[in-house]
Amino acid sequence: MARLIPTLAGDVHVLPRDAAFAELARRLNAQVSARPVSVGLSGGSTPKAFYAWARAQSALSFETLLRTDWHVSDERCVPLRSDDSNFGHAARGLLDPLGVPALRRHPWPTEFTPAVAAEAYDDAWTRRSPRRAFDLCVLGLGDDSHIASLWPGCPLIGAPGLPRFAATEWPGRGWRLTITEAGLAQCGAIVVLVNGKSKAAALRAVCEGDLAPATHPGQVLRAWSAKVTWLADEEAAALL
Ligand code: 6PG
């Protein structure tokens, strides 16, 4: 049974990684209804493991696969075929093997320059869904406390009047496309997957540390803690 730790950034459910994957799959299946729903998957290594697990377990229902609009909450400015592409990994790891049609796939238009790609993606998504970003936004947590591509010191953090999706140049990691605080505010629910002891200090800083979102970007989630669920293994939650 998962332990529950209430924190300033939302409830942390402490459970093994596969149980976290099962909970994420349950939420993905549960949100599907008569209308299409939207999901922003995450990048990084954890989602790749989730894709393999979900395929092996046949964890996503037929309806989920066909009635979900699949996105990624942040992206690298590379072609889909690149091994750095977050949507490329979602496609190769999950959407292709499970037959998700092109109609339900919404990669960022990384063929454009970063600013144009971000504007085009935000415009297209705002036309389709003016008041909602993603029904369910999946995030990971970096060991430096970043979420999506909101990196420590990122000028998007705390900036007023931003669109829901924007471009940012991450020093040493290149241009990124990312959901912003304005986008996170318009998500229905947010699930953050955190595994491993390398994340323990970041999880404590984000969930319980002194407020310093420029240093610990994951703290921006405190503004919507009621809709944030952390799924963390024992090692990641060791310092809570
Ligand atoms: C990215 C991700 C990034 C990721 C974290 C955690 O594009 O790299 O969106 O924000 O979620 O770095 O990654 P892990 O799942 O590998 O711990």
Where in the chain does DSSP place strands (E)?
3-7, 10-14, 37-41, 68-72, 74-76, 136-140, 165-170, 174-179, 189-194, 228-232
Report residue 72: phi and psi, to 5°.
-125, 140
User: What average pLDDT does this structure show over 215-219?
Assistant: 98
In-domain check, residue 194 = yes
CA–centroid distance, 142 to ligand 1, in Å, is 6
**DSSP letter assigned to residue 91:** I
- When mean pLDDT is compared across 31-35, 44-48, 180-184, 205-209, the lowest value belongs to 31-35
How many domains does the chain divide into? 1
| CA of 73, closest atom in ligand 1 | 9
- Does 1 have pLDDT greater than 70? no
User: What average pLDDT does this structure show over 197-221?
Assistant: 98
CA–centroid distance, 116 to ligand 1, in Å, is 23
| CA of 76, closest atom in ligand 1 | 7
CA–centroid distance, 3 to ligand 1, in Å, is 24
In-domain check, residue 154 = yes
In-domain check, residue 3 = no
How does pLDDT run across 113-131, given as a tens digit for each residue?
999 999 999 999 999 899 9
> In terms of residue numbers, what domain contains 124?
11-24+38-232
Q: What's the confidence (pLDDT) of residue 34?
A: 76
Categorize the per-residue pLDDT at 2 as very low, low, confident or very high, splitting at 50, 70 and 90. Answer: confident
Q: What's the confidence (pLDDT) of residue 61?
A: 96
In-domain check, residue 160 = yes
The domain spanning residue 108 has which CATH number? 3.40.50.1360
